[in-house]
Amino acid sequence: MNALIIQSTEFTPFISLNPESRIIEFEGVSRPEDVSAFYTPVIDWITDYESDLYKINVSGGKKFELNILFKLSYFNSASAKMIFLILESLSRIRKMGYPFNIEWYYEEGDDQMYDDGYELSEAIDIPFNFHATS
C-alpha cells in the first residue's frame, strides 16, 4: 500500500499516512472549505489500510505497533467530526490487535486544544499521550 501525503495550505493540515514507517500524522490548521472533500481520501486510505491489516491478521501475520501523531494548532467543528471518524476507524484497527499510541500535541497554555484532545480520547475510549509544546 502506498503512502498518502497531503501538503498543508493556509486552511488545511499536512497529512502523512505512511504504512512503511507505521506513522499517521496530522499537523497544522484544519478548516477546509469543503471538509468532506478534503478528508474523504484520508478516510478511504485508512479504510483500505484497515482491510490490508485485516488480511494480515486473518493469515496469522505478525502484528506491529502504529504511531498516530496529532499536531494540530486549530480545527473547526466540521474537522472535529472528521477527526472523530478517523479515530473510529483507527479504533477498529486496534481491536484487531494492532497496538498504537496516539500522541496529542498542543501549544503550552492552549487549554482548548488540550480539552479537545481529551474529549476525543474519552469519546473513543482510547488514552492519548498529551504533549505541551512551546
Domain that holds residue 82: 4-101
Tell me how many domains the chain contains: 1
Q: What is the CATH number of the domain that holds 93?
A: 3.30.750
Question: Residue 134: what pLDDT?
Answer: 87
pTM: 0.94
* pLDDT tens-digit map of 42-55: 999 999 999 999 99
User: Can you give the pLDDT at residue 58?
Assistant: 87
- In the prediction, which pLDDT does 22 show? 95
Question: What's residue 116's pLDDT?
Answer: 97
Residues of the chain with pLDDT under 50: none
pLDDT at 35: 97
- What would you report as the CA-atom Rg of the chain, rounded to the nearest whole angstrom? 15
